Copies of this chain bind each other. A is one copy, B any other.
């Protein structure tokens, strides 16, 4: 066991509200600790796993920030999500025993490695853990449906507004500001996620700035009028 494995314990992790362990007894919790065998560091720009890699584990983001991306046969790619502290990566790999997307760190990151066969065997013992795994996967499905709604029916301004509100809400629930955020991804990555070109992302940011809704300094964004963003996502009534 290397030095990074010390204190790798869900029971003493300050992320337990966000991550896997929920409603477990102290005994169950310590059994879960034994599942989280290792931590793994991932350097900015490198991949936690790639499309085609053999699937073995789920990963809980301990620190840092990831994007996941799928690539079509002809090389186009699409960012399918951004994952922050406490969120789970790797569920795409279960169905075919191989990953079907890339997970790339957008800043130096650390993840908890949770071997999936261990999760499954422990799930057979603890129904609370079992149900939690099901919820995590269901949550991902529901999130994906929301992205489809965004991609299929919203216009550029609405998409970016929804994106900002979503990001800031997730950051807020992790103790950060409701109104300030630092983007960890490029305009191009935002655009890929939102189905628009980087120039459109940039222009839309500028438009929001002109309208006094946000302030932008590079990747630092300050939200000055949350309600205006909400109105953009959900147009009052008649378009």
Contact = CB atoms under 8 A, between A and B. Distances in A.
Interface of A: 70, 72-74, 76-78, 80, 91-96, 100-101, 120-121, 123-125, 127, 130-131, 133-142, 144-149, 151-154, 192-195, 233-235, 237
5 contacts: A94-B137, A120-B130, A121-B127, A141-B141, A153-B195
A154 B124 CA distance: 42
A80 B148 contact: yes
A134 B148 contact: no
A117 B95 CA distance: 22
A87 to B, nearest CB: 14
B94 A146 contact: no
Given A148-B80, A149-B78, A138 B195 contact: no
Given A78-B149, A100-B145, A127 B138 contact: no
Contacts of A93: 138
Contact of A70 (B121, B131, B149): B149
Report copies per complex.
Answer: 2
Contacts of A152: 78, 151, 192-195
Contacts of A121: 127
A234 B233 CA distance: 33
Contact of A92 (B133, B136, B138): B138
B78 A135 contact: no
B138 A138 contact: no
A148 B195 CA distance: 9
B137 A72 contact: no
Contacts of A127: 120-121, 124
B144 A145 contact: yes
Nearest to A139: B95
A124 B124 CA distance: 4
A153 B123 contact: no
B70 A135 contact: no
